[in-house]
Amino acid sequence: MSTIRTNDGTEIYYKDWGAGPVVTFSHGWPLNADAWDGQMQFLTQNGFRVVAHDRRGHGRSSQAGSGNDMDGYADDLAAVIEVLDLRDATLVGHSTGGGEVTRYIGRHGTGRVSRAVLISAVPPLLLKTDANPEGLPIEVFDGLRAALFQDRAQFYQDLALQFYGANRPGAKVSKGVLDQFWLWSMQAGLRNAYESIKAFSETDFTSDLENFDVPTLVMHGEDDQIVPVKDSARKSARLIKGAKEIYYPGAPHGLTATLQDQVNADLLAFLRG
């Protein structure tokens, strides 16, 4: 397998396809790089080089006992970018991956970055606090942790329905898409998936977003049951100077699958713009 080794000895798996301008992809929780195949294949067919890695503890990367936080995720992305010597890259992140991209820019800057894309992303802060009263209460995330620990296999089957909006009347989501979500999720280590909940829910990305100095596209489904659009994308877009926004009526969290063709077309237009 194609892997790199980070400073703490964690093996990070990556895939690297095509030739041309570079686009990196950071996946959502608790999936892996394969969740981006629909976008990666499309972009290689349109003249781009695409790189995606499995977050530590997910997919084919090693199940590290530490570093399961946004700083660790951002540093792993930086390691991939530096080992492969990627330059003028567009960083694309979905959900937790959007937090990873955001923290990367806040922590490592944009010296190797030309653009950023946040899709259904968790910034600026999901958790309800005194400074963020519109957020989700800690009990929501405690419930995720409890359900994950008690029966992660069933938890992931239930989560898939919300992730893709399959629980909505008239939804057209195949059993294959739901099964695929479960398969990817079960490849994540329990410790890693458990600790990642704190990372994506309690990390405040406000200062990171304010450091964005590259063209940025914010994309989000308006019926996202996982990361509510009003608490995330709309706030992030106000913090990023000159951000472009695209909102998809009725679309769920997993819109890269349910609206693959539309998302691909919008992503390509931004990359060529």
Domain of residue 240, CATH code: 3.40.50.1820
Task: Quick: pLDDT tens for 127-161.
Answer: 999 999 999 999 999 999 999 999 999 999 999 99
Which sign does the torsion angle of CA 257, 263, 265, 269 carry? negative
Q: What is the mean pLDDT of residues 173-198?
A: 98
| pLDDT over 80 at 11, yes or no | yes
Q: Which DSSP helix (H) or strand (E) runs through 172?
A: none
How many angstroms separate the CA atoms of 132 and 2, rounded?
41
Percent of all residues in the chain with a pLDDT value above 90, rounded to a whole number: 100
Catalytically active residues, by annotation = 95, 224, 253
Looking at every residue in the chain, the average pLDDT score rounds to 98
Q: Which DSSP helix (H) or strand (E) runs through 134?
A: none
C-alpha dist (Å) from residue 67 to 22, 29, 57, 236: 26, 15, 10, 25
Write the Ramachandran bin of 165: left for phi over 0, alpha for psi from -120 to 50, otherwise beta: left
pLDDT value of residue 1: 73
In the sheet that 113-119 helps form, which strands lie side by side, from edge to edge?
Answer: 3-5, 11-17, 49-53, 22-26, 89-94, 113-119, 216-221, 244-248
Q: Which DSSP helix (H) or strand (E) runs through 25?
A: strand 22-26
What's the pLDDT band for 227 if we cut at 50, 70, 90? very high
Q: Is the pTM of this model over 0.95?
A: yes
Q: Please give the residue range of the domain that contains residue 264.
A: 3-272
Beta-carbon count within 10 A of 174 CB:
12
Phi, psi values for residue 99, rounded to 5°: -65, -40
The number of domains in the chain is: 1
Instruction: Kindly give, in sequence order, each residue whose CB lies less than 8 Å from that of residue 230, ignoring residues fewer than 6 positions away.
Output: 134
DSSP, residue by residue, 196-265: HHHHHHH---HHHHHT--S-EEEEEETT-SSS-GGGTHHHHHHHSTT-EEEEETT--TTHHHHTHHHHHH
Phi, psi values for residue 131, rounded to 5°: -85, -10
